[in-house]
């Protein structure tokens, strides 16, 4: 266990913690007193049928979704009870840096998407008695979790909207994620996961950030100098003053925990590797929402999976920001698309 | 100067060497007795108007182009005098590892694409008295050099075919190349460029290779398991037994020299930054030939440049291999497209 002030109410609050008790993991081992950090917006109605669940993406927390929420929007807290749940290992929920021995730091166990969804299910049922989810929506690893929710609990999930992510991670994505892992673990300061502070791993984190600069955006984003959307005045500022500091504050072992999990996201693990069968189980009305300029979750891959989901539509989001459109820096140009599709989805009777 | 048996006649021969004498560089400094390694196919005719010049790509040598050459093909040695010229710093021509002090290893000067083309021009005119080039064709950095040839010597170059490359390197590409550089220079074994053998930098070279595995191919390449084209039986074999050993044999400083040069390829340096004016200078009949699945020299970027070239066509090559289609592992599925376009180009009167 080490200190990291980045993972705090100051930067990511308000959020609360729920203690799942000892949580056994699919890969073996368990997390004692496993905690999920979460943030809620709106009120659970009496029928308990106005729940929207939003799982977090790689390196993101509940805070990253705040721009998605607002009155009159799809994620409207005056109508819905919106629960943003931080994935295990993201730095706020139980994670390598905030866990005690014997699972502290590099000894933190391997966590799968399936573990997250079982944990989130336990949390929502135990704490709120929720038996029905109006919508699960999330971006990137949040999309992976959305798929896992819809396949694992098909009767509970009424609608699903995976944004910029896949149900079964692709080989290309697996290798891409390897390069992110390599960037961190190759830093001698990482010390096989036993650094005392993330500042010791800053060079590895900076390399990791620069790979994101290549894969997270689009060729056209740079050509049109759209880094201005991030409030910077040059491409160098974008890489060195925005992206690198963003990741440098994070815990390397948290990123590695999430990367390992991301690489192995695959709903077909529930059906002996049969993806058709897994996606065929989904009962939710589903909008599959890739981003047109996404380099590593390209629409082509998402379209294939959508074709295997019974009651689904493909809704492609247009954004020159590529995968990082998820940050929402384009404002209404992005959110108007998201809201339009999600409002339509939420208005569909199920 | 260090030994590296990879750069030898055994692996890249037959090739010859031409001594340019002391060669002054645009960035300052010079290469004493600068040598260009080259390979020729066919005979120079009496009119000296049957010359095809082929500059090499990043990490490649003359050897890489041999599959492009053959009787009845576009690059037909029974008709043309084909000269493949190794770029400076590629390990065969004057390079960090084969140079003596004071420009050995990390002290090797910065070389620009413009230096290469001036060097190649000196070589062709001095050695052969060539005043006209029927075609300059090259892939990737070979395309960058092709553009430089066509803009710098517009009266000499009659036809040009840049494959999978740009006239002005893009910002996205610049950052991508940074990640390749970071992968190598972050290896403590690199020792600021003063390693004794490339084997000391194998971890950095391996990381560099893995980034190529992400950017060099396409998402669909992996989905369809097209790594079989490279004669391997699994994706792990492709990454660990093909790509990593391929790059591990190379000289890290050579790769860094080429990467620095690649990042700064820009014909508009000849026209005070005016790309329209630079490309407008081209008199060659030009076929711009991007590869449809290329992640980092995407057709969109190439199409824009093509629109600025007076007498040009856009000819998109289809290949699931993305940028690495250049290796030619698809055989006729790839080469039939290349040959068709180049035969048409070569048959165009100029």
A244, pLDDT greater than 90: yes
Q: What is the pLDDT of residues A120-136, one digit of tens each?
A: 999 999 999 999 999 99
What percent of chain A stands above pLDDT 90?
100
Tokens standing for residue A67: 């721009």
CB contact under 8 A, B214 and A179: yes
Beta bridge partners of A75: A69
Q: What's the confidence (pLDDT) of residue B196?
A: 96
Do B84 and B235 meet the contact criterion of CB atoms below 8 Å apart?
no
- The torsion angles phi and psi of B254, rounded to 5 degrees, stand at -65, -45
- The torsion angles phi and psi of B24, rounded to 5 degrees, stand at -80, 140
Mean pLDDT, to the nearest integer, of A170-178? 98
pLDDT-based confidence at A350, cuts 50/70/90? Answer: confident
Name the CATH architecture for the domain at B174-257. Answer: Orthogonal Bundle (1.10)
CA angle (B25 as vertex; B20, B30 as ends), nearest 5? 65
Mean pLDDT, to the nearest integer, of B326-337? 97
Is the alpha carbon torsion for A289, A295, A300, A304 positive or negative? negative
A18, pLDDT greater than 90: yes
CB contact under 8 A, A295 and B295: yes
Task: Please give the sequence-ordered ranges of beta strands (E in DSSP) within B95-201, or none if there are none.
Answer: 135-139, 159-163
Q: Which fold has domain B9-168+265-347?
A: Rossmann fold (3.40.50)
Q: In terms of C-beta distances under 8 Å and separation of at least 24 residues, what long-range contacts does B71-79 make, across chains too? A: B73/B335, B73/B339, B74/B338, B74/B339, B74/B341, B74/B342, B74/B343, B74/B345, B74/B346, B75/B41, B75/B137, B75/B342, B76/B42, B77/B41, B77/B42, B78/B42, B79/B42, B79/B50
Q: What's the confidence (pLDDT) of residue B260?
A: 98
Q: Which fold has domain A9-169+266-347?
A: Rossmann fold (3.40.50)
CA distance A228 to chain B (A): 14
Q: For residues A59 and A89, give the distance between their C-alpha atoms in angstroms, rounded to a whole number.
A: 9
Q: What's the confidence (pLDDT) of residue A194?
A: 94
Mean pLDDT, to the nearest integer, of A141-165? 98
- The torsion angles phi and psi of B330, rounded to 5 degrees, stand at -80, -5
pLDDT-based confidence at B337, cuts 50/70/90? Answer: very high
**Coil, strand or helix at B258:** helix
CA angle (B108 as vertex; B102, B113 as ends), nearest 5? 140
Among A164, A167, A171, A320, most B C-beta atoms within 10 A, so best to mutate, is: A171
B299, pLDDT greater than 90: yes
Among A168, A172, A181, A201, most B C-beta atoms within 10 A, so best to mutate, is: A172
Spatial CA neighbour of A141 closest among A161, A117, A166: A166
Mean pLDDT, to the nearest integer, of A199-209? 98
Catalytic-residue membership of B140: yes
Q: What is the pLDDT of residues B71-94, one digit of tens each?
A: 999 999 999 999 999 999 999 999
What percent of chain B stands above pLDDT 70?
100
The contacts of residue A159 (CB under 8 Å, 6+ apart) are A134, A135, A136, A284, A285, A286, A287, A345, A346, A348, A350
Q: For residues B246 and B184, give the distance between their C-alpha atoms in angstroms, rounded to a whole number.
A: 15
Spatial CA neighbour of A315 closest among A283, A278, A348, A272: A348
Mean pLDDT, chain B, as a whole number? 97
End-to-end CA distance of chain B: 46
Q: What's the confidence (pLDDT) of residue B15?
A: 98
Nearest CB neighbour to A222, from listed B170, B210, B217: B170
Q: What is the pLDDT of residues B156-200, one digit of tens each?
A: 999 999 999 999 999 999 999 999 999 999 999 999 999 999 999
Mean pLDDT, chain A, as a whole number? 97
Mean pLDDT, to the nearest integer, of A57-83? 98
Q: In terms of C-beta distances under 8 Å and separation of at least 24 residues, what long-range contacts does B340-343 make, across chains too? A: B341/B74, B341/B161, B341/B287, B341/B289, B341/B315, B341/B317, B342/B74, B342/B75, B342/B135, B342/B137, B342/B161, B342/B287, B343/B74
Boundaries of every domain in chain B = 9-168+265-347, 174-257
Q: Which residue has the tokens 């048996």?
A: B5
Q: What is the pLDDT of residues B41-58, one digit of tens each?
A: 999 999 999 999 999 999
B350, pLDDT greater than 90: no
CB contact under 8 A, A219 and B170: yes
C-alpha B110: how far from chain center: 17
Q: What's the confidence (pLDDT) of residue B8?
A: 96
Nearest CB neighbour to A175, from listed B218, B239, B296: B239
CA distance B80 to chain A (A): 38
Q: What's the confidence (pLDDT) of residue A80?
A: 98
């Amino acid at each position: 266990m080490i200190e990291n002030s980045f993972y705090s109410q100051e930067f990511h609050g308000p959020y609360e913690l729920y203690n799942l008790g000892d949580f056994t993991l699919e890969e073996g081992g368990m997390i004692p007193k496993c905690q999920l950090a979460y943030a809620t917006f709106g009120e659970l109605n009496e029928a308990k049928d106005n729940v929207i669940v939003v799982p977090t993406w790689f390196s993101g927390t509940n805070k990253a979704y705040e721009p998605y929420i607002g009155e009159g929007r799809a994620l409207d807290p005056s109508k819905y009870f919106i629960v943003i749940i931080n994935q295990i290992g993201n730095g706020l929920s139980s994670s390598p840096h905030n866990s005690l021995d014997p699972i502290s730091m590099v000894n933190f166990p391997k966590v799968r998407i399936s573990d997250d969804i079982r944990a989130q299910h336990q949390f929502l049922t135990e704490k709120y008695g929720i038996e029905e989810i109006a919508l699960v929506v999330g971006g990137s690893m949040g999309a992976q979790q959305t798929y896992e929710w819809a396949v694992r609990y098909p009767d509970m999930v009424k609608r699903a909207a995976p944004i910029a992510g896949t149900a079964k991670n692709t080989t290309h994505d697996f290798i891409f994620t390897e390069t992110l892992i390599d960037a961190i673990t190759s830093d001698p300061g990482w010390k096989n996961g036993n650094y005392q502070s993330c500042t010791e791993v800053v060079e590895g984190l900076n390399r990791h950030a620069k790979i994101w600069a290549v894969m997270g955006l689009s060729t056209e984003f740079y050509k049109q100098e759209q880094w201005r959307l991030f409030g910077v005045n040059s491409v160098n500022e974008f890489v060195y003053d925005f992206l690198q500091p963003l990741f440098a504050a994070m815990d390397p072992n948290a990123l590695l925990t999430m990367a390992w999990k991301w690489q192995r996201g695959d709903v077909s693990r529930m059906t002996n590797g049969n993806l058709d069968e897994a996606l065929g189980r989904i009962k939710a009305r589903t909008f599959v929402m890739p981003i047109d300029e996404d380099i590593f979750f390209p629409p082509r891959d998402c379209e294939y999976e959508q074709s295997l989901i019974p009651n689904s539509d493909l809704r492609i989001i247009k954004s020159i920001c590529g995968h990082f459109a998820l940050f929402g820096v384009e404002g209404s140009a992005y959110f108007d698309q998201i809201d339009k599709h999600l409002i339509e989805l939420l208005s569909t009777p199920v």
